[in-house]
Amino acid sequence: MGFVTYDVNRYTPRQMVVLPMVLLIVSLAILGYNMASTGMPVKPGMDFSGGTAVTLLNPENPDTLRATFSGYPLIEPIGEKFIKFGPMDDATFESLATLVNEQHPDAKIDQIGPSFGQTLQQQALLALTFSFIGMAIVVFLAFRSFVPAGAVVLSAFADIAMTAAVMSVIGIELTLPSTAALLMLIGYSVDSDILLTMRVLKRQGKLNDKLSGAFHTGIIMTTTTLAAIAAMWVVAFAGEITVIRDIASVLLIGLVIDMLNTWLTNAGIIKWYMLKRGAK
């Protein structure tokens, strides 16, 4: 069932919510396993676990860099300009700094201590939690009806949970850039869900026509955004701009998942709600 040929009016509400609910359960299982085994829903990156980053002004072959720094806790993958190392003691760090200065005197060295990384980790999780709670409060105040507001909040929660699960499966670490992307995803998810909900609840006309109109507008909006972010990802990947690449990667995953949750989960619940109220 591709989104190009998908007909939002063809399926019953129960048929629409089955697939995303199954995916949400699987995603929560993955995140729960990660929490039980590592203490974090997604593997933390250097920003949150601590480590050292070396930025080279003169790129080198990754194989050469791997051989040069083989005695240190390298984190794969290794770029031509950017190398990451895991946490190390002071003596090891001093040795690494000496080697870097000898081999690459113009290189930049940044270090994040494990305790500072833990602090950043807690602050990032608090930011995600409070952002989601604030969004939920605003949505419930705006609609003043449990089912439409609950559908928007559920879809936003599913977007974050599924995106985090995909990040875990494909190896995208939780860093400051990827956390920022998840915060942006909350806003985009609510935007697309409110578009659908307001079109169906507030406009006059047949239910099928309102759903079709909202779907057409929403898909154009999302695919346009996807194209822009894909272009940003290509430029960031080619230029090894890791911050922008990480943000774009998470947003690409999240926007695809948002289409699924908006036009199956949210649309299915809203359709059931309107039919229950006697809408034709």
Which of 58, 90, 91, 63 lies closest to 77, judged by CA? Answer: 63
Strand-pair partners of 52: 85, 111
* Whole-angstrom distance, CA of residue 181 vs CA of residue 159: 12
**H runs (alpha helix) in 144-266:** 146-170, 176-202, 207-238, 242-260
- In this structure, the answer to whether residues 81 and 66 fall within a common structural domain is yes
Q: What angle do CA 173, 240, 236 make, to 5 degrees?
A: 85
The answer to whether residues 120 and 241 belong to one domain is yes
Instruction: Verify that 153 and 240 share a domain, yes or no.
Output: yes
Confidence at residue 161, expressed as pLDDT on a 0 to 100 scale: 94
Do 68 and 128 share a domain, yes or no? no
Distances (CA, A) of 205 to 12, 117, 224: 20, 54, 27
What HEC string does 37-85 produce? HHCCCCCECHHHHCEEEEECCCCCCHHHHHHHCCCCCEECCCCCCEEEE
Domain shared by 91 and 166, yes or no: no
- The answer to the question of residue 4 being in a domain is no
Q: Report the SS3 class of residue 200.
A: helix
pLDDT value, residue 255: 94
Q: Residue 258: its pLDDT value, please?
A: 93
Domain edge (last residue) among 112, 137, 162: 112
Whether 7 is covered by a domain: the verdict is: no
For residue 133, CA distances in Å to 129, 130, 211 come to: 6, 5, 28
127 and 240 housed in the same domain? yes
Lowest mean pLDDT among 17-21, 199-203, 255-259: 199-203
In a domain, residue 130? The reply is: yes
Count of domains observed in the chain: 2
Q: Residue 5 domain-assigned?
A: no
Note whether residue 3 is domain-resident: no
66 and 152 co-located in one domain:
no
**Judgement on whether residues 159 and 224 belong to the same structural domain of the protein:** yes
Tell me, what CATH number does 66's domain have? 3.30.70
Assess whether 216 and 123 both reside in one domain: yes
Mean pLDDT within 262-266: 91
Final residue in a domain of this structure, among 112, 127, 162: 112
Question: pLDDT (tens digit, 9 = 90+) per residue, 123-180?
Answer: 878 888 888 888 888 888 877 888 888 888 899 999 999 999 999 999 888 888 888 8
Q: Which domain holds residue 64?
A: 51-112
pTM: 0.81
Do 167 and 231 reside in the same domain of the chain?
yes
Cα distance between residue 62 and residue 222, in whole Å:
37
**150 & 61 share domain:** no
CB-based contact 107:100 (threshold 8 Å) = yes
- At 262 the pLDDT is 92
pLDDT reading at 117 higher than 70: no
In a domain, 120, yes or no: yes
* Sequence-separated (6 or more) residues with CB below 8 Å from residue 28: 161, 165
Dist CA 242 CA 233 (whole Å): 10
Please count the CA atoms within 13 angstroms of the CA of 164 that sit on its side-chain side: 32
Instruction: Encode pLDDT of 220-249 as tens digits.
Output: 888 899 999 999 999 988 877 888 888 999
Task: Single out the residue in 112, 132, 161 at which a domain terminates.
Answer: 112
Residue 68 shares a structural domain with residue 103: yes
Cβ contacts of 131 within 8 Å, gap of 6 or more = 183, 186
